[in-house]
Structure 1
Amino acid sequence: MTLLAAAIALVGSLFFALGAALQQFEAVESAKPGLLTLLRRPRWLIGGASILAGGGLHIVALGLGPLTIVQPMGVASLLFALPIAATLHGRRPSRRELTAAGVVAAGLVGLVLLVPASEGPTYLSPSGVLTLLGVAGVAAVLLWAGSKAVSPAGRAALLATSSGVLYGATATLMRVLVDGAWNWWYLLALPVPALLALMMLQRAYAAGHFGVSFASLQIADPLTAVAFGALLLGEPLPSGIAPVLAAALTAAGTIALARTSPLEAHRNSPTPV
């Protein structure tokens, strides 16, 4: 069953990577990468369906095997996504680009495996929900504002990190709904960070540098969820030097991706690809 869970999670990662690559391709090709525009693009919708399928397979895998096996398989989506995105843009990924992605993936696997498992049901008071949404919103706005003053690669990274923070808040709120007390007010609050995260991610994709944006999303989402879990839910944080080394790997890999990942520009843009 463990091998089956790992295989299902790996296939789920492939679906997730395909969906992300398709959505990035459409966001780059669109002159206005807003949700209303992208929702009218069939390939972007197919990408969304692929991401949902990947998420569903990941849930199935978690029901069949341990978290320590399934979660690392999810990190493989970064290694799948780069070749798929490169093919869509009519190029081949370079060896340095894939090596940088491998470094990011190795660091992420380390971080995922080092996070202590939570015990017992989770609970978040209404004031805690407001704190969660407020902190995530402020962080997202600051990252969005900072993205306006940096290079295209930095813009992709900051916007994707902003999206990851909002997705991390969404994941934390979802955990409270599933593991703790079901509350209709929390359910109404759930779509707010999720929709904002999706909008921010499309802007990150539109900036080009798919590897940078996808890696930044993969890093920011789980780290934000872990941070919120520790601050608001009282969950333990990993300790020792190992998490620092894993975080350093992810940072080094992301910086390397920013230097090696080419800019995928709009076909009508004067900026050379």
Structure 2
Amino acid sequence: MTGLIAALVSAMVYGVGLTVEQRALHRSEPIGIRRPLHLARVLFGNPRWLAGCVLAALGSVGLIVSLGLAPVSVVQPTFAGGISLTLLLLSLAQQQRISRGELAALGIMPVALLLLALSLGPRDAAAGTVPHLPLLLTVSGVTLAVCAAGVALVGGGRASAALMGGAAGLAQGVAGLHGKGIGGLLADHGLFAALVPVLLSPFPYLYALGWAVGIALFQTSMQRSRASITAPAANVVGNVFTVVAGTVIFAEPLPTEPLPLVLRALGFLLTLTVVALVHRASGEAEAEAGRLRAAAQPTG
């Protein structure tokens, strides 16, 4: 239960940071992954974006800690759904109009969290802390190569925000796997005793690489669209990837009893439903805004 609560709180902090970043990006000059130095100058020269980035980083640190406390099949969907929930609550606080689908997502997410919590039994709540290292390194290398090759094939300037968000989700999923490796060392050795093992492991360095690739793709896609379009695309892809790959790589057992297993699966599916509802509703809103802008432009 501690890991689930930590993941939810981390998601809320991350979601607030995401909103601050988005507002800062929409007021800055255009960026693109084909101009990495310009992208870095625009991002790191923007104090508001940096403030949002600090909040998002704190949320990410909380996720790493929670991954060492509970199974990835509980922590990861809780974090992903919590981000969508936070974005919707912030929209309500800013008196933005939300759709019926988004209202349904607000009602579904607490149910999903309850099911995930009920699936945690004393025998099934342990988190895997030691990965199969060769498999982890292979999955990481192949996934990051696929992200880079896929975006290059479609062209960085022509790729849709949803596609780039999905690629960002895969890269961030790689970071999540190595974050779980760090969280496992923290859980096994304690905060201070884990410092040397963490630095001697490949986890922090591949975490940074996955994070850098993911953030370049994510920030570019978020500037092209609303965070509530980009974030769900990244969340769905990254969530499924991290849960499936993490469960295998860290050899985490699923609940052994039928009822907790069903509750875990339903909770996971409901969190995906939440982000899908937000994605669909936001995509429709974005398309309608585009039509209105096109209609308002003078012809001839």
Shared fold by TM > 0.5?
yes
The amino acid across from 1:166 in the alignment is: A
Query: Counterpart in 1 of 2:131?
Result: 123
Q: CA deviation at 1:172?
A: 0.9
CA–CA separation in structure 2 for the residues paired with 1:141 and 1:71: 25
Query: Counterpart in 2 of 1:169?
Result: 174
Tell me: CA distance 1:138–1:86, structure 2 relative to 1, closer, same or farther (3 Å): farther
Q: What TM-score do the two structures reach when normalised by structure 2? A: 0.65
CA–CA separation in structure 2 for the residues paired with 1:219 and 1:11: 19
State the number of aligned residues: 262
- Please provide the CA RMSD for this pair: 4.7
The amino acid across from 2:285 in the alignment is: T
CA–CA separation in structure 1 for the residues paired with 2:109 and 2:154: 24
CA–CA separation in structure 2 for the residues paired with 1:36 and 1:272: 34
Q: What TM-score do the two structures reach when normalised by structure 1? A: 0.70
Structure 2 gap ranges (5+): 32-38, 186-196, 256-260
Query: Counterpart in 2 of 1:78?
Result: 84
- 8 Å contact 1:156–1:213 — kept in the other structure? yes
CA–CA separation in structure 2 for the residues paired with 1:236 and 1:256: 35
- 8 Å contact 1:219–1:250 — kept in the other structure? no
CA–CA separation in structure 2 for the residues paired with 1:158 and 1:104: 26
Residues 1:257 and 2:265 are matched in the alignment? no
Q: CA deviation at 1:57?
A: 5.9
- 8 Å contact 2:14–2:58 — kept in the other structure? yes
Given candidates 207, 212, 215, the residue that maps to 1:190 is 207
Quick check: 115-124 or 184-193, which moved more? 115-124
Query: Counterpart in 2 of 1:246?
Result: 270
Identity over the aligned pairs, expressed in percent? 19
Query: Counterpart in 2 of 1:219?
Result: 236
1:1-273 superposed matches below 5 A: 6=5, 12-33=10-31, 34-55=39-60, 72=78, 75-82=81-88, 84=90, 92-96=96-100, 98-99=102-103, 101-102=105-106, 105=109, 109=113, 117=125, 119-125=127-133, 127-141=134-148, 144=151, 155-179=160-184, 182=198, 183-236=200-253, 242=266, 246=270, 249-250=273-274, 252-253=276-277, 254-261=279-286
The amino acid across from 1:81 in the alignment is: L
CA–CA separation in structure 2 for the residues paired with 1:108 and 1:272: 42
* Cα deviation 1:78-107 (Å, max 9, x = unaligned): 23324646888xx72333463265378479
Tell me: CA distance 1:102–1:168, structure 2 relative to 1, closer, same or farther (3 Å): same
Q: CA deviation at 1:44?
A: 0.2
Q: CA deviation at 1:211?
A: 0.9
Q: CA deviation at 1:145?
A: 5.0
Q: CA deviation at 1:75?
A: 3.0
